[in-house]
Amino acid sequence: MVLPGIAFMFVFTYIPIYGLVIAFKHYTITDTINGAPWVGLENFKIILGDKYFMQAVINTLGISLLKLLLGFFIPVVLAIMIYELKDGPFKKLVQTISYLPHFLSWIILGGMMISWLSTTGLMNQMLSGLGLIQQGSNHLLSANKYWMIAVLSDIWKEAGWGTILYLATMSKIDPTYYEAARIDGANKWTQIKKITLPFLMPIISLNLILNVSNLLGSNLDQTLVLMNSQNSARSEVINSYVYRMGLTQGDFSYATAVGLGISLISVILLLITNTVTKKMNDGESVIF
Amino acid sequence: MKKKTGKTVKENKTFNILNIVVLLAFTLIIVVPIWNVVVSSFSSSTALASGSSTLWPKEFTLQNYQKVFADSSIWRAFGISVAKTVLGALTHVFFCAMVAYGLSKRKLVGRGFYTTFGVITLYFGGGMIPYYLLIRSLGLLDSFWVYIIPGMLSYYDVIILMNFFRDVPASLEESAKIDGAGDWTIFTKIFLPLSKPALATITLFNGVAQWNDFMTAKMFITDQNLYPLQMKIYEIIVQSQTKGFDNAALANSVVQSSSKGVQLATIIITTVPILIIYPLLQRYFIGGMMVGAVKE
């Protein structure tokens, strides 16, 4: 009963890994992978001089770092706040509503965003209602706003969902800790600082490592929906670049080389962050 | 000492009020924009063009929905979405369970090798282009099966099910064996019924992923007849954007802005099935996440 599974994994994961060799070849759609001529590192040399690729790297890093800086700790704070609520309808309501956006696909959310951010959309209605603007404009057509739009929409979508893991961890904290703290006169802030946060630390650092190692793997779905000709200078990310070069323009070898280079850098990032957090956590590793 | 406790109580009260206010604001930030889309989908095209329907439909109309439902290609896409969701989720959970059942047997020869073989798939892969070439050489381009077959197995779900299967009492299995049951009977008659919560979790989450998936269609399907709803919406959105839908000049034309209403109606129709199974899903959130966390 295991063998069909093994065969499946061989075909759908291991054969594509082998397919990576085309990064070192000159592969065209009529070739077979084995039949294509070797070109060594030529594809990788082109990458370094490719200004569109460099632009995509800057966008990917910019958006991912902003997501990390602005978005990483919001779920932690939210989770603690939800945890501190009394059990009851309000707590349930907050949880139900905050998880919901996670289940909307980027296509759906992208469609909604195009409506919110359009000239006559919700965003401009609110801004003009507050007297902040006179005339509405389409925010998605302005390249300079794209990074912020991408980051904030991602936070909007995933912040609530991000609390689940923390809430699950906190549900395992022994309530007697809090009772003891209360008797000693500790207020909520002290309780959070001295009891809740230390409990969450391992899972927070694990999440941080996974996030950092994913810095270069920015969301393809999101980019494909929100990108347009006006904002593409700021919205093109590595994944969408690979997609365009490979599947739209048929430059398979070059696109594979880009993808392979990026995965290697991601693995290095993972190793670095793991080492750093290991040092911070007194030698206790979170992943390896 | 007494004074200190009094101060603490007061501080905690401030904390609680602040907490509720902030969380209330947070939920409003999520609800209001979604509500705005719902309201807009029921608004007339002129109201949408002038941007006057914010929280309540202006010039209430069902026209947008009528237009969507009148389009036979939407119905077709809906059918494809349902088919790939149901069939995809069921084959996924069954196949994962089968592999997990086999791997959960400690006496399995080569078990260590198989699990390493599986774990590697979680961390490494060929990436987008080699994967595309594989799908192409398998002849799955422009075939409905591209939605089902490549998604049948995820080793992550296998691990979750393996943990569940280990908790099934060994005595049950032994007594079945004495009664002459083979592995297949034990798997389908004992293990599957006993692991319903885990199977339901995986089926529901995989179903949502299938319903929301559009990359598969975007990468591998060019035949419009095989488009799922998500891809349909993507097309509508991209078309409207490239047409310069939101140019100030075009925003006034009824044709352009009515297409905005149709877009929003399609979006709402696509989201409704998710909202219907949402209460079901919610029951499994925490449990499912806990199982996932154990693995980490």
Separation of CA A279 from chain center = 25
Which ipTM score applies to this complex?
0.88
Q: Are B136 and B185 contained in the same domain?
A: yes
A6 vs B114: CB contact, 8 Å cut-off? yes
- Counting residues of chain B whose pLDDT is more than 70, the rounded percentage is 88
Q: Would you call A98 an interface residue with chain B, using a CB distance cutoff of 8 Å?
A: yes
The residue of chain A nearest to residue B46, with distances taken between CA atoms, is A120
Measured in angstroms, the CA of A216 and the nearest CA of chain B are apart by: 13
Does B98 have pLDDT greater than 70?
yes
Instruction: Please name the residue of chain A whose CA is at the shortest distance from the CA of residue B237.
Output: A111
Q: Assign residue B158 the CATH number of its domain.
A: 1.10.3720.10
Confidence of residue B225 (pLDDT cuts 50, 70, 90): very high
Contact A136 B296 (CB under 8 A): no
Residues 194-213 of A with CB under 8 A from B: 203, 206
B284 compared with B37, residue with greater pLDDT:
B37
Instruction: List chain B residues with CB under 8 Å of A20.
Output: 126-127, 130
A106-116 and B2-41 helices cross at what angle (nearest 10)?
Answer: 90
Q: Do B290 and B150 share a domain, yes or no?
A: yes
From chain B residues 56-85, the ones with a CB under 8 A of any chain A CB are none
Spatial neighbors of A149 by CB under 8 A, at least 6 apart, are A113, A117, A139, A140, A226
Question: Whole-angstrom Cα distance, residue A249 to residue A242?
Answer: 10
The confidence score (pLDDT) of residue A135 equals 82
**Chain B interface includes A108 (CB < 8 A):** yes
According to the model, what pLDDT value does residue B257 have?
Answer: 44
Q: Which residues of B touch A98 (CB under 8 A)?
A: 26-27, 30
DSSP string, chain A: --HHHHHHHIIIIIHHHHHGGGGGB---TTS-TTTSPB-TTHHHHHHHT-HHHHHHHHHHHHHHHHHHHHHSHHHHHHHHHHHHSPSSHHHHHHHHHHHGGGGS-HHHHHHHHHHHTSTTSHHHHHHHHTTS-SS---GGG-GGGHHHHHHHHHHHHHHHHHHHHHHHHHTTS-HHHHHHHHHTT--HHHHIIIIIHHHHHHHHHHHHHHHHHTTT---HHHHHHH--TTTHHHH--HHHHHHIIIIIT--HHHHHHHHHHHHHHHHHHHHHHHHHHHHHTTT--S--
pLDDT in tens, B250-268: 444 444 444 788 889 999 9
CA distances from A125 to A51, B40, B55, B250, B252 (A): 38, 13, 11, 19, 17
If asked whether residues B79 and B127 sit together in one domain, one would say yes
pLDDT over 50 at B119, yes or no:
yes
A210 class by beta-carbon count within 10 Å (0-12 exposed, 13-18 middle, 19+ buried): middle
* Domains contained in chain B, number: 2
Range in A89-93, A244-248, B47-51, B118-122 with the lowest mean pLDDT: B47-51
Would you state the pLDDT for residue B295?
A: 39
Q: Name which of A114, A221, A260 is nearest B237 (Cβ-Cβ).
A: A114
CB distance from A119 to chain B under 8 Å? yes
pLDDT tens digits, one per residue of A10-67: 999 999 999 999 999 988 878 788 888 888 888 999 998 899 999 999 999 999 999 9
Q: What is the pLDDT of residue A223?
A: 93
In the beta sheet, which residues pair with residue A38? A25
Q: Find residues 156-195 of chain A whose CB sits inside 8 Å of chain B.
A: 156, 160, 164-165, 167-169, 171, 182, 185-189
What residues in B contact A263, CB-CB < 8 Å?
A: 127
Residues B133 and B261 in one domain: yes
For residue B4, tell me if it sits in a domain: no
- The verdict on B207 and B92 lying in the same domain is yes
Reading the block at residue A182, the tokens are 């209360």
* Residues B265, A229: Cα–Cα separation, whole Å: 25
Please tell me the distance in Å from B75's CA to the nearest CA on chain A: 18
Tell me if the domain spanning A43-279 has CATH number 1.10.645.10: no
- Note whether residue B229 is domain-resident: yes
Distance, CA of B173 to CA of B84 (rounded, Å): 34
Q: Do B219 and A121 touch (CB under 8 A)?
A: no
Q: Answer with the one of B20, B40, B60 that is the final residue of a domain.
A: B60
> Is the pLDDT assigned to residue B134 strictly greater than 90?
yes
Chain B contact present for A141, CB below 8 A: yes
**How many other C-beta atoms can be found within 10 angstroms of the C-beta atom of residue B172?**
13
Closest CA to B104 of B91, B121, B118: B118
pLDDT of residue A195: 92
Cross-chain Cβ contact B121/A13 below 8 Å: yes
Do B281 and B181 fall within a single domain?
A: yes
Q: Which residues of chain A have a pLDDT value below 50?
A: none
Q: Domain check: are B184 and B161 in the same one?
A: yes
Contact B233 A108 (CB under 8 A): yes
Chain A residues in contact with B271 by the CB 8 A cut-off are: 104, 108
B81 belongs to a structural domain: yes
Q: How far is A62 from chain B (nearest CA, A)?
A: 22
Name the pTM for this structure. Answer: 0.87
Are B213 and A105 within 8 A, CB to CB? yes
Domain limits for position B20: 12-60
Q: Give the pLDDT confidence score for residue A185 in this predicted structure.
A: 85
For chain A, give every domain's residue range: 1-39, 43-279
pLDDT score at A219? 83
As given in the structure block, the two tokens for residue A151 are 């980051």
Residue B18, pLDDT > 80, answer yes
Domain match, B141 and B228 both: yes
The pLDDT, as a whole number, for residue B35 is 94
